[in-house]
Amino acid sequence: MRVQFQKNIYETGRTAVVNLPQSWSWMSSNTVTQAQALRLFIDQKTNPEIIDKLLQSLLDFRRDGTWESSYNNAQAFTALVAYSQNQPTPPNFMTTVKLANQKLGETRFNGYQNPNLQINVPMNKLPQGNRDLWLQKSGRGRLHYLVAYKYRLQGNQPGRFNGLRVTREISKVNEEKVIQKTGMYAFDKPLTLQPGQVFDIGLEIITDHPVDHVVIKDPLPAGFEAVDDSFQTATPALQAKADNWQLELAIRI
């Protein structure tokens, strides 16, 4: 049955929704289907990423905090209990951080209310030579830690492609020539534009994985003003370019 369920799952970057054929109408509702699928995948020890997406989709079925009927609520809560039983025991331990026998900080992790402790040591405060860094834990739970040595290079540094690339182009309105294109690299010299001109600013978004929602804030620099072309008196020559959605498909034989 798990294989049949998996064939009818619509998966996105954040959710996984079960869409069963009409012959499976005995499952009675989408909430029941989603809850039963979640319990089945938990019992079969499927990929945790799929299980988390099924859980998120089940939570998204709620309306005003419930699943709209007593039966749906019971099925959903049963699946949530099964999911919670696979979660690790809440931590309860004390952690102490020392560098060269000097205490940098300590804290107690009790549950998930304050799950992080961040300690920053300036470069000029680091001890000279080889020194030991100690992380001591006493209590129940698993300690996850990261030790990083960071410093800033001079000048503008190139960006890093982490699966989502945003490129901005600026050009004069109704002209194809691009005045400046900003992407992974920043420019050392600022762009100078003449006053009294109208420009078109375009954003290109490229992703290599499924993404549900993307919000980009691109504030206008000082001295710029957005042109509102929704007025009937606005000239058509100042209308912005239309959105262009492109889907690339590669087939190899």
Domains of the chain, residue spans: 2-84, 92-140, 156-253
**Residue 231 identity:** F
For residue 98, CA distances in Å to 12, 117, 134, 233 come to 44, 14, 5, 69
pLDDT at residue 249, rounded to an integer: 38
pLDDT at residue 81, rounded to an integer: 92
What are the phi and psi torsion angles at 104 (to 5°)? -90, -30
**161: nearest Cα among 207, 113, 99, 227:** 207
| Three-state secondary structure call for residue 208 | coil
Strands (E), 116-193: 133-140, 164-172, 178-182
**92: nearest Cα among 135, 139, 137, 136:** 139
Stretch 113-139: mean pLDDT: 90
Query: How many Cα neighbours within 13 Å face the side chain of 51?
Result: 17
Sheet of strand 164-172, all strands in order from the earlier edge strand to the far edge: 178-182, 164-172, 199-207
pLDDT at residue 251, rounded to an integer: 37
Which residues have a Cβ under 8 Å from the Cβ of 23 and sit 6 or more positions away? none
Higher pLDDT, 37 or 212: 37
What are the phi and psi torsion angles at 134 (to 5°)? -110, 135
pLDDT at residue 8, rounded to an integer: 76
Q: Looking at the predicted structure, is the pLDDT value of residue 79 above 80?
A: yes
pLDDT at residue 91, rounded to an integer: 86
The distance from CA 158 to its chain's CA centroid, rounded to whole angstroms, is: 22
Q: Are strands 199-207 and 164-172 parallel, antiparallel or unpaired?
A: antiparallel
CA dihedral 220, 210, 72, 47 (to 10 degrees): -140
pTM above 0.75, yes or no: no
Give me the percent of the chain exceeding a pLDDT of 90: 21
Q: How many CB atoms lie within 10 A of CB 174?
A: 12
Higher pLDDT, 156 or 195: 195
Q: How many CB atoms lie within 10 A of CB 112?
A: 8
